[in-house]
Structure 1
């Protein structure tokens, strides 16, 4: 699949105004990069596509620097070492890396992590056993703290973060209500064992949610915003916890939403119900939770109590279109681009 004589790179050509388009990207062919001492040349096998990448396309202050114009779009990758100038890694080693939207990249050996394909499929290193899975695990357990018998609601529940949130909530003895878009995704949530699965596109969604949570909502894992949040807010219980890891419904907005300012309503709910509303970026919990995450989630996958789904698109050139679909809810499961041959399959 990958040309071994030259590199393919997808660069950020311009900053989007609203929804990104193909014009915001530029695909170029370039010579293979060369590693220096302490570095490795990596061949990309899987590129992870994630909603946070939309924010990195903007030139705005955030928790991480934006992608510079003319630079390779950033992203997590699973790669094979094809040249090593560091004794810690050998040619053929499979690693978790961060070379972005390109077929080959160079990274310091100390910045990659060797993978064991006998432990789990290597694609999971950027999925259920990677950043999305850890986002679900750490956000739910550190901030949500679900207790047995409580009700946990999660939006985008058919995605890699939301599906893990609901299943972990069930493992911890809570009741899981998943919200997704479309009957196929709702059916998948039911197959995963969610207590209730709701379609946010249904004209009766608000009434369906009210019926699904007769005792209110104790934990709402927020990664969407928009009309789902509007329906959830009145149903939050006293002392509800709301981990916030994303707001994908708003990423393409170019101006404040129409209508009255409802911040006073939100603040009143936070005050009168003693709600904990806490944004987070997953890396802040790495020191405290990453080891237990790897151990527990691997065990749950092994015994079948936690399942995952991958949506794999073939070919790096198709990454922009796949990314557009991710932002509009067309992907189903963890979205990956298979850039090169997977030697384990």
Structure 2
């Protein structure tokens, strides 16, 4: 297999891992005002992701860096054309990270409410805008013969992209609710499971509509098949939630998100950024790639360090695997 194809697959894996792991982080943040009726419950919710949220963000940093090194033309067009949405995502992630660190620095309720609002907005904005961005990448955007994005902001806010944003927001919110059910006990777990069962219907309808639309756009048999499996995984996750099997429920929502992302990349290949102006102007894995020597060096480095990173992150999840309850939160 050509190295350009291998790196396309690796970047797809990085984005898949990011959406699965950061997805439940975003979901927990979005659900803070829904399930966190008092400060103790909100602290429990934040503590479920406290040890892992910053490690989960590493996936997007590596995905961006790998895109820059392996497909510089794709990176240049993407980050110049999608500058404003990506800037908003970056600012939201910064605000959210600061909020996690500063929320507990003072005891006043007003202080905590302000930082809670930052966590909510810092989770909701990326959850929506990542879907908008990837929907546009999959659908295609105005690109000229020089590989430059020629559209504006409103080109990105088309119906398909907005549906993509609502889909990622809904799936991440559901994923977060299932994760809270997995990581907590008592009334918070019960509330999270109840919310997941009700909200799961909305998430399923949005995801089905978006993936069907994607299938109609690209008519990729493999993408359609993977989307169908994703739907089965999502329904299976909801059924597991209903019977109280939290681990299987989380596996189902994680698989649904991961398979949906894979379906988008399969529909996209061999393009990395289709041109809606003229298909001949599309960026592909070949005309957007770095030199073979660069890809070879990157492959060696990735083969050495990727297993170490995965082992470390897996160890982190294992250490912090126990459930959290309100009884474990000190007063004040």
Same fold? TM cut 0.5: no
Q: Which has the higher contact order (CA 8 A, sep 6+)?
A: 2
Q: Normalised by the size of structure 2, how large is the TM-score? A: 0.28
As a proportion of its length, which structure holds more strand?
Answer: 1
